Amino acid sequence: MVSFDGGLWFTADDGVNGSELWTYDGSSATMVADINSGMGSGDSNPGESGGFAVFKERLWFDADDGLNGRELWSANSSGAVMLSNLATGADSSLPGKSTGLVVLGDSLVFRTQDTGNPGAGNSLWYSDGTSGGTAVLDANLFDIAPSGSNVYVHQGIMWFACESAAAGEEICSTDGTSGGTQIHDLIVGAGGEMSPAAITVAHGWLYFTGEGFNGSDATGLELWRIQLTGGAPELVWDVFTGDGNNADVGKYGGLVTVENTIFFSADNGMQGHELYHWGEIDPDGDDVLVIT
């Protein structure tokens, strides 16, 4: 559900038209458009892959009209229109899968993949709201926000995991422009990669879970950080020390920041997966719960 244009907009099935886009103005509900109006009660299932985003006075979402596959659409009170058929024919581009539809300045940023060509992987796109202004942000980046990772938006910058032939799987960032999109090669070269997963921001640093080295020891998935301007990674906490030992930090629930404290699950090799915290806390503060 999303608040837009003075109403509550959502996906619903009235038992007649299938799963379509609706709006509620506080007194009555109205179907905005029957996007998949094929024989029977076709389902367009708006927002199934990437959810909803309000951008340039329109509501944006993915939908399947039964002809062009699951593509990027937008709507207002006058109805809904498809932006462009990014995947060929009836194949789907699944816009926003794993990233959602992210508004960054004058750009709507989202991941796409071609279901008709699964070997091609996926890529990061942007749109200014027009078909002609919709394109790949950086053709060198692929495997955007792989399974198990998240995206994090901070002060107009989207941080995410991605891969390139030159750097392997590392932390990436974009401001919604081609010039402002980059991969941060934390373990230099394609032969080494941190394989970042969960991402968050706390007290001026970007924190993430990744696989690096503590001296000569491989860390497994532990807690790392870099400055928001980029730079070399710092190991914050090697929860399960020893070469090759893996604490699986953030495996269950990712990294959650509450004020200046990061909460996460981890396994220290003795107690199984339990709840941990790291950050700048006052253990005597009235509003702090210290977990042991």
Q: 268 burial class (0-12, 13-18, 19+ CB within 10 angstroms)?
A: middle
Q: Are residues 20 and 164 in the same domain?
A: no
**DSSP string covering 12-37, please?**
EE-SSS-EEEEEE-SS-EEEEE-S--
Q: Are residues 53 and 97 in the same domain?
A: yes
Give me 129's structure tokens: 């709201």
Tally the domains of the chain: 2
Q: Are residues 89 and 189 in the same domain?
A: no
Q: Are residues 119 and 23 in the same domain?
A: yes
Give residue 249's Cα distance to chain centre: 19
SS (H, E, C) 178-231: CCCEEEECCCCCCCCCCCCCCEEEECCEEEEEEEEEECCEEEEEEEEEEECCEE
74, 107, 136 - which closes a domain: 136
Q: Are residues 146 and 132 in the same domain?
A: no
Amino acid sitting at position 159: W
pTM of the model: 0.91
Q: Report which DSSP code applies to 142.
A: B
Q: Are residues 119 and 223 in the same domain?
A: no
Place of tokens 């042991």: 292
User: 215-244 in b/e burial notation, b at 16+ Cβ within 10 A?
Assistant: eeeebbbbbbbbeeeeeebeebbbbbeeee
Give me 153's structure tokens: 């938006």
3-class SS at 119?
helix
Q: What is the structure's pLDDT at 38?
A: 72
Q: What is the structure's pLDDT at 120?
A: 84
Closest to 151 measured CA to CA, from 133, 124, 127:
124
Q: Are residues 80 and 157 in the same domain?
A: no
Q: Looking at residue 263, which CATH number applies to its domain?
A: 2.40.128
Query: Do the beta carbons of residue 189 and residue 182 sit within 8 Å?
Result: no
109, 136, 163 - which closes a domain: 136
118, 136, 154 - which closes a domain: 136
Q: How far apart are CA 176 and CA 185, in angstroms?
A: 20
Q: What is the structure's pLDDT at 40?
A: 59
Q: Are residues 22 and 166 in the same domain?
A: no
For residue 45, give its domain range. Answer: 1-136
Q: What is the structure's pLDDT at 190?
A: 82
Q: Are residues 201 and 281 in the same domain?
A: yes
Q: Are residues 152 and 278 in the same domain?
A: yes
Query: Do the beta carbons of residue 255 and residue 235 sit within 8 Å?
Result: no
Q: Are residues 44 and 100 in the same domain?
A: yes
Place of tokens 């003795």: 270
Q: Are residues 110 and 182 in the same domain?
A: no
Low-confidence ranges of the chain (pLDDT < 50): none
Q: How far apart are CA 213 and CA 236, in angstroms?
A: 12
| Residue 111: other Cβ atoms inside 10 A | 26
